Every structure is written in structure tokens, then in C-alpha cells.
Chains A and B, each alone.
Chain A
Amino acid sequence: MLVAPIVEVKNLTKRFGNTVVLRGINLTVERGTVLGVLGPNGAGKTTAINCLTTLLTPDGGEATIAGYNVVEQPEAVRSLIGLTGQFAAVDEVLTARENLILFSRLLRLSGGAAKRRATELLTQFDLLEAADRQVKTFSGGMRRRLDLAASIVVSPLVLFLDEPTTGLDPRSRQQLWAVVKDLKAQGITIILTTQYLEEADALADQIVVIDQGQVIAKGTVDELKDKVGGKFCELRLANLEDYEKVKDLLSDMGEVIVGEMGKEGPIAIAAPDGANTLTEVVLRLESANIPLADISLRRPSLDDVFFSLTGHTT
């Protein structure tokens, strides 16, 4: 028997007044995987999430969670999902524990079970020490973790994370990533929007790129990277005046690509032979007495992917 994906979205459209925000989004998510939804500000990521979490009614198209239609059976859908919105939606003057108990009770846990679950979550999210402090004393990272904990009080089938690490410092971000990976390991299906390409790189099995209300690319991280091409040899010149000379020297190996930062930034050349290409470049420049500031071999980043798909960066 062919098994349908746990989340299925077909031709979803939404407009606000005259502004068309979603122009027919299609996606599918398999159970237990993480889907990364990438896109610049205003691409329609949050609107799409709001439609899937029953906060907004789409104008057209169809979306189902585990077979339940988000428009026709919103109550059922809400029982299956968890949502962590863009802003840490927890009460400032309540303590972390009180916040979690409140949500546990709202999700039908009994008084005792709610308390136990709160303690469990506080431990799991490394908030036990701060459990009885009012949330207004929390750092941004702690707030985010609490926010996430509140969304998985009862383990949902599908968890929606809308830009979960926006505004966090690198360490808090790492901590949050670890939590998300842990949730994935528990078998929770996760849909995650982000502006950070490295975040999608670190967490997502599948990626869709949304721009101006449309899906402009989808696939695994590797597939998307292959779309842009293979490896690159990237170099920085010590003296910018050497640029023309380098271009001539390497002309038979391929075109020298100038990045966003112009000649002052790193320049690159396709490296079909990997390390051999790099060695060749070093040898040629050395014999021509052209000093290098830096040289490396790298795969295209999702930034490159995004740039080549949309013509603009995130």
C-alpha cells in the first residue's frame, strides 16, 4: 500500500486584500523528518505556517495533517500539532514552571501529571535551576527553550517552528539545535522556517525554498547544492592588482567567478578535480610569483544556492 505523507499541501493560496501572499504552495513531509522552509523576509513563510496551524483560513488549495483537513477539521488538526511562533509566547510574570503547568492543564493533563510533566520538560530543556523564576528575568535563549518546551508538553505528531533561533547568540542557537535534533530522534515530524541557511543545513532532511509566495526549489540539502554545481576552489589575493593576471593564468581551467563582494572578496573557480585543481592553482600562481592571502576548497553553501535561485541573497 502506498502511504501518504503526514503533511500534504496542495496549491495553497492566500491573499490579504490585494496582496497575494501565497501563490500556490505545494509540499509534502514524510513522517519523522524535518522540513526546512527557507526564504527571505516577506516570502510567505509565516503565512504558510499560520494556514497549516489553523490560525488563518487559506483562500484556496488543500492542506492535510495526518489526513485531517486544516480547513474542514481544524479542531482535529490542533490536537495533532504543536506551534512555536516567531515571538516567545510565554507569560513574563509567570514562572517557567507555572507556564508549563498552564499549558499542560490546557492539554488535559491532570494536576499531578501536569506538575510531573513540567519538571520533566524543565530538566530536558536545562531550565530546572531557573524553574521558579519569573520569565521576565530570562535570557533570550532560555525564553526560546521554554517556548519550545511549551509546544511539546504533549508530544505532537507535527511540530511547527517559526524562525526558532532568530536573534539568539551562537551558543543558545547550538543548544536549541540540539533540542530540535532530540525531538526529531523521538520521531516528531518538524516543519521549521528559517532565514539562516546554516540552520536548515544543520537540521533539515528536506528543504523547500519559498520566494514571493511560491516554492522555487525543493529537495535534500545535497540535491540543492548539486543544482548549483560541484566543488569550488576559492581564493583571496594578497594584492588586488593581480586580479587580471590571475584571470589570464587560469583561463584554460574555467571562468573565474567574482562573488558578491567584488574583487575584494573571495574569487572562485570550479574545481571538478577537487584537491588536484587546488594544487594546480597554487602551483601556477606560485610560479608567476603572485602571493595568496588564502585558498580553500569548498562545496557551495546554501547561500550560493539561494543566490543562484532568486537572484538575491537572504
Chain B
Amino acid sequence: MSNSKENMRATKVEAIAPEISALAQKMIAKRQETGWRRAIVDSWLITGRNLIRLKRNPIIIVAIAIFPIVFLAGFWIVGQKLMATQGVNYIQYLVPIINLQALFFAGLGSALMFAQDIESGMMDRCRAMPIARIATIAGLVMAYMVRALLSTLILLLVAFAIFGFRFQGSVIDALGYLLLIVIFTATCITGYSVLAIKLRRPDLVNAVAIIPYTPLLLLSNGFSPTENFPTWLQPIIRYQPVSVTSDALRSLVAGGSNSLPLFGFSLLWLVGLLVVFGVWAKNAYKQLV
């Protein structure tokens, strides 16, 4: 639908009393919902609202900081000695997957908030208002992006200060790391939004959302090198998106010379998934209500 001036004129304007018609046109012109500036402002407002909600959730500090750190410490204590016998410096190996896991859980949390918004009628209220169509979704993605990046920052600082994790790559490697993390988060949130739209009920989302965790995160080479898996599983482990992404992140951390192809492969996977999920989510969203 275009947002031309023509469209802002009522189809049956001649039949409506002139003063109402004038008032209506004024209201429409003032609140016109289309245009990219509107989209940015509206998305930003909804982001702010979501961030307040995140901030006031008593569980948030556990989710953002404690959970990833406990996982890092746990796997490190359990795996360090054993991995050393295989010649793996486990803390360098482990940090990328723990980071991805934190981002993945941010996606999971976003599905929960989304489902709550659908159930509470908030989504309907926003959809019946003259605000940019993209704002509700963008506000969700951006708020959880903030959460994910905050979580990453805390994790990396703790890994650096307590566990001796070192980023050995260049500034460009660091930017590559950041870029992959942002896209990975966006992909998770978009994928999970499909789940939220389809299921709608927060309790159901809460129960089901953990399911993709096992095949995607645990059945990856993030925690243990591919060679340690049964031979028939190895091709799947090696080429699934989380493995590819953690390969790329590890390579960027190490500052290796072969980072670029790994980075490209990971980017291809993530952007591809993002597009698929994005289209799927958009179609599902249209059928909401």
C-alpha cells in the first residue's frame, strides 16, 4: 500500500460532512504511520518499553550474568584437564560457544516476552494504532539485542579476568566477532519469534522453547572437537550452523590466518537462516488474531 497523498483522501469524501472530513485529514496527516523516520522513532519507543520490562524482571541478572558464567566455570572445571590431554586449551575453545549459548538464551527469552504481548492484547493494541508496522518486532529484537550484547560483555570480561581467556586477534578480527554475534542474535530472535507467533501461549512457549537447544548447541563442535563424536555424526556436527559459527569465532579469537573463509561460511549460514525465519515470521504475523 503506498503512502501517497492520494491514499490519505477518503474514498467517499463527498458524502462526509466537511468539518469531519477536514478533521479526519488533519488527524491522519499528523499521525501518519508510514515513512522510515516514523519506523525508527516507533521502534525506539517500543525498545525503551521492552528494556524497562527487562530491567524490572527480578530474574534478569541471573539470566544475563550468572547463568553464562556458571556454565563457563562448570564446563571449564569438568573439561579442562581432559581436553589438555588432547592438546586443547579449553578456555580459549569454550568461550565462543558459551557466548553463543548466552545469545541463544536471549532469543529464547524474547519468545517468551513476545508470547506474553500476544496474550495480554498488547500486540493488538499496537497493531490498531497508527504506528509503524515494523515497530513491535523491531522493538523486541533491539531490546533483546541490548540484553545479548550486555551478556557478551560481562562474559568476556569475566573470562578475561578470572579464567585467563585472551583475545589474540586484531581489531578487524574483533569487529568480525562482534558482527557474527549480532547476526547470530538476530537469527535466534527471529527464529524464536516464529515459535511465539505459532504457539501464542507463554506457558507453552516456556515448555517447548528449550527443544532446539540440544541439537543446535550441544550437538555442535562448540564444547568438544568434532573428532570426539561418533564417525557417522561427524559430517552433521561439522557443518551445522552453530559449529560453523563457533569455528569462525574461535578462529577470530586466535587471530588465525584462515579466519576469512570460516567467517564467510558462518555469515552465509546465519544470513540465510535469518532470511528464511524473517519471511516465515512475517507471514505468520499477518495471520495473527
Contact = CB atoms under 8 A, between A and B. Distances in A.
Nearest to A55: B289
Contact of A67 (B3, B11, B131): B11
B130 A79 contact: yes
A interface secondary structure, majority: loop
A252 B289 CA distance: 57
A134 B49 contact: no
Contacts of A154: 27, 31
Contacts, number: 135
Contacts of B23: 157
Contacts of B128: 53-55, 78, 81, 83
A31 interface: yes
B119 to A, nearest CB: 8
B161 interface: no
Given A31-B20, A76-B28, A81-B128, A4 B42 contact: no
B129 interface: yes
A27 interface: no
A93 B127 contact: no
A81 to B, nearest CB: 7
B252 to A, nearest CB: 38
Interface residues of B, number: 45
B130 A67 contact: no
A169 to B, nearest CB: 21
Contacts of B57: 93
A293 interface: no
Given A3-B16, A94-B53, A107-B130, A56 B289 contact: yes
A297 B276 CA distance: 69
B82 interface: no
B227 interface: no
A66 B16 contact: yes
5 contacts: A2-B15, A68-B11, A89-B122, A106-B45, A106-B126
Given A76-B10, A78-B130, A79-B28, 7 more contacts: A68-B10, A72-B1, A79-B130, A83-B124, A86-B121, A91-B53, A94-B53
Interface of A: 2-4, 6, 31, 50, 53-56, 64, 66-69, 72-76, 78-81, 83, 85-91, 93-94, 98, 102-103, 105-108, 134, 150, 154, 157
List the 5 shortest-distance A-B pairs measured between CB atoms, nearest first. A67-B10, A89-B121, A4-B15, A87-B121, A78-B130
